[in-house]
Structure formats: C-alpha cells, structure tokens
Amino acid sequence: MIRFLLKGILRDRSRSLLPIIVVSLGVFLTVVMSAWLKGIFTEMIDLNANFTTGHVKIMTRTYAENSAQMPLDLALLGVSELSKNLEKDYPDMEWVYRINFGGLLDVPDKNGETRAQGPAAGKAIDFFNNPKEIERMNILKSIVEGNIPKKPGEAIISHEFAEKFGVKLGQKVTLFGSTMNGSMLFKTFTVCGTIRFGMTMLDRGAILIDISDAQLALDMEDGSTEILGYFKDGEYDKIRATEVVSTFNPQYSKEDDEFSPQMFRLEQQAGLEEYLAMADNMGGIMITFFIIAMSIVLWNTGLLGGLRRYTEYGVRLALGEEKSHIYKTMIYEAILIGIIGSVVGTILGLGMSYYLQEVGIDFSEITKNINMMIPPVYKAAIFPQLFYIGFIPGLIAMVLGNALAGFAIYKRKTAQLFKELEV
C-alpha cells in the first residue's frame, strides 16, 4: 500500500506539491532558526566565559556583592597558595588570575603636559607566561596595530581611544586611579598596540596590561580581583561546574568572613541564568509555533484537496470501501508527504545553517550602543538535533491538518452517491 500511495503522491502533483512546499518551508525555518539561536546563545555564553565569568569564578564574598564597582580593597590575597590548592583539588581545570580596574588614561603632549584624558576600563591578564589567556580572549586577531606586551611597562589600548586622542605606537600614557590600599595611582605605560574587539562595551576605553604590572601598580602583591576556572576540554558543563562549586564553598567560604573566597558558576553571574533558560525554552516554543501555524495552513489545504477529490471519495465509497479505510489512507498519505517535506526542508535548512555558521550576519551597526557583551556577528551552530528536529513540526502538522480535514469523509451519505455519480 505504501508503494501505491507513494506513486499517487508523485504522479498527482496537484494534491501533493502545495503540502510538500508548506511542510518544507516550515521545516526549513525550524532548522535554520534553531541553529541560529543555538549559535547566538552559545557564542554569547562563550564570550562572557572567556572575558568575564569563566566557567567558574572565585571572588571574595564582599567583592562579589559589589563587583560592578570593581572595589580593589576587597580583592583576593594569597592567590598563589589558593591556586595551588585548586590545581590539586580540581586537576581537570585551568585556573587563571585576572585583575579588573578603572581610572583615567592621560595622554601627554610633547612637553609632558596633559593633552587629553579619557576614562579607562582596565584588565590585567598573564601575557608573559600563559599563551592560552591570549588565545582565549582572541587578542592576537583583535590587534589593529602593533603587538601584545612583551616586557613590563607595555600596554595595549583601545583603537577607538587611540584614534580619538591621537595616540601613536611607542607613545607613553599615564593611568590615574587608586591602589588597593586607597592611595593615588600614577603609572606610565608605553603603548605597544591598539585593539578592537568589535564590542562597544570593550572598545570604548580598554587598556590591557600584564598581571605582574597590575599587581605592582595597584599594591596587590600576590593578589587579584578574581580567579577564573576553565575546564580543560574548553566546554562548559553545568553539572561538573555545580559539583566544583558545591565542594569548594563549604571548604573555603565562611559566612562570618567577608574576605573569604566564594565560587560562582557561569549562570550565577551577569544574568546569564536567564539567557540559558531562554535558550533551553526557545526551541520548544518555536517548534510549537510552527506546528500550530502549519497545521492551520495544512488544514485549509486538506479541505481544498478534499473538495477536489470529492468525487474520488464518492466512487470509493460506492465501490464498498469503508470510510475508516479511506480516512486511514489519507493519514498514510499525510505521513509520506510529511516525511518528504521534512527531508527536503531539513536538507535546505542544514545548507543555510552551514552558511550562517561560516559567515554569519553582522549586526555591529545595530548593537554598537548596547552595553552588553554580545558578539557583533551572529552565527549559527550545527548540532546533532538539527538532523531530526524539523520532522517534529513537519510530521505532526501534516498529519494533524489532514486528520482535521479528513473528518469530512464521515459526513458523506451513501444515499447521495449514485445521484452525484450520475451528474
């Protein structure tokens, strides 16, 4: 029977072409949107993990409560000993120091007098001893001019800041701020490079220096504002991160000590838990929407097809075929059409998803005034579920639409058949 129905579908395009197009279009949109949303949320999470949150992050209890203000006086101390314990207790993770600081960046003229000033958001990482940090933050690819710091006293500044105030490579700039102990900070750096990350939040006034320079300038010997932990396989795992946090905090974090270290998962920072929940729910919401929308369209298509095949159903009933059998053959046809449309839509959707994964869509002009850490180019991500996720709305919508339209068969009265056939 399946071969018979398949021949009918392929030979009578007037009854199968439109439903196949509708199903293919719905499946195509489902696959592409699923891949695109997955790529956006995945890249956003990776971006935040690499730059700010890590897979887990350790801060003092009070620093965590005021982290947006970057209070250096609440930073971690004795980080070398703490990191040794972390490497021993969690060998499958990599631990790095980061120091976040703010201040004013002063640009002198040829006489050493202030020519321009601008706010600076500083970040100190291990440039000299940890190449993974440079790779993790994509610094080499983001360098516009010059190179990374290779010796103490060198710094990378925002290319936007350099263009605005006319700062050249090799020129000295002075960072004004305050140290961990509250004293005034005046530290001069030589600009060795300019950088553009493509994110407004980072590009307005960034200055990147080595962790050793920051510890010296900020009176933070053996200290850092945070310690970030990354799984060595590079993939964030919520279950593993939860296990790490649940074993670290009872051992090291004390409620009566505001300077005791406290660990946080990626989701517990920067409101990322809401984004992750949205990502998990978005796929289901989108599939439900397409099922409802396509079911309505295919229901109407089925009704139109039923009117066109009104005489055919009458002949089959007159020949003694049961209404239930005709209804079942309609459902079987719907399943075959749904499979054909889902296959076509999935193939086209995977092709478009691959293109979006490699090229993406540049939204930098739209997002340039958004103070969130989001990627400027939105790319898709192909994952295993894409190979079958489109079959869910494709089959359900097709079968549901034809099942609703097929109830018209049961309204046919045998007494009217011969009169219709005479006409």
Residues 162-202: tens digit of each pLDDT = 888 888 999 999 999 888 988 888 899 999 999 988 776 67
Instruction: Give the pLDDT confidence score for residue 156 in this predicted structure.
Output: 94
Task: Please state the φ and ψ torsions of residue 176, each to the nearest 5 degrees.
Answer: -100, 135
What pLDDT is attached to residue 7?
63
**Which residue blocks in 146-271 are alpha helix, DSSP H?**
159-165, 200-203, 211-217, 238-252
pLDDT at 201: 66
CB 231 within 8 A of CB 240: yes
Q: Identify whether the C-beta of residue 253 lies closer than 8 Å to the C-beta of residue 60.
A: no
pLDDT of residue 348: 94
Contacts of 282 (CB under 8 A, 6+ apart): 37, 41
Which pLDDT belongs to residue 118? 86
Cα 131–Cα 132–Cα 136 angle in degrees, nearest 5: 125
Do 251 and 75 meet the contact criterion of CB atoms below 8 Å apart? no
Domain ranges of the chain: 2-47+274-422, 56-235
The model's pTM is 0.74
Residue 375 pLDDT grade (very low, low, confident, very high; cuts 50, 70, 90): low
State residue 378's pLDDT score: 79
On the question of pLDDT at 293 being above 80, the answer is no
| pLDDT of 365 higher than 70 | no
Q: Read off the pLDDT of each residue in 269-285 and give the average, rounded to a whole number.
A: 71
**Euclidean distance between CA atoms 140 and 142, whole angstroms:** 5
| Radius of gyration over every alpha carbon of the chain, rounded to an integer in angstroms | 31
pLDDT for position 299: 67
Residue 21 per-residue DSSP state: H
